């Protein structure tokens, strides 16, 4: 891991677009060219599971509430 400068208090972090940088799966170590998405049963709103196309391990879950839930 590279030595990164520590964030100073009161300083707003900058965000840089990742041009030419490919993310790596934390499970299998392969470059992530895309991810699979699967809807998960949810009573309120919609929930999606995102997983690696190579090893099929879960990368994350997102939950989206309906517009009426705020």
Instruction: Find the mean pLDDT for residues 41-66.
Output: 89
pTM of the model: 0.64
Residue 3 in this model has a pLDDT that exceeds 70: no
Q: Note the pLDDT tens digit of each residue in 9-53.
A: 777 878 888 888 899 999 999 999 999 999 998 777 889 999 999
At 15 the pLDDT is 84
Residue labelled with tokens 């599971």: 49
Domain boundaries, the chain: 35-64
- Spell 34-48 as b/e; 16+ CB within 10 A means b: eeeeeeeeeeeeebe
For residue 11, how many other CB atoms are within 10 A of its CB? 7
Q: At 30, phi and psi to the nearest 5?
A: -80, 155
Lowest mean pLDDT among 5-9, 12-16, 60-64: 5-9
Cα separation, 39 vs 52, whole angstroms: 15
């Amino acid at each position: 891991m590279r030595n990164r400068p520590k964030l100073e208090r009161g300083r707003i972090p900058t965000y840089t677009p990742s041009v030419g940088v490919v993310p790596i799966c934390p499970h299998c170590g392969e470059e992530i060219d895309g991810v699979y998405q699967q809807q998960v049963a949810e009573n309120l709103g919609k929930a999606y599971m995102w997983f690696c196309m190579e090893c099929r391990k879960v990368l994350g879950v997102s939950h989206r509430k309906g517009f009426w839930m705020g």
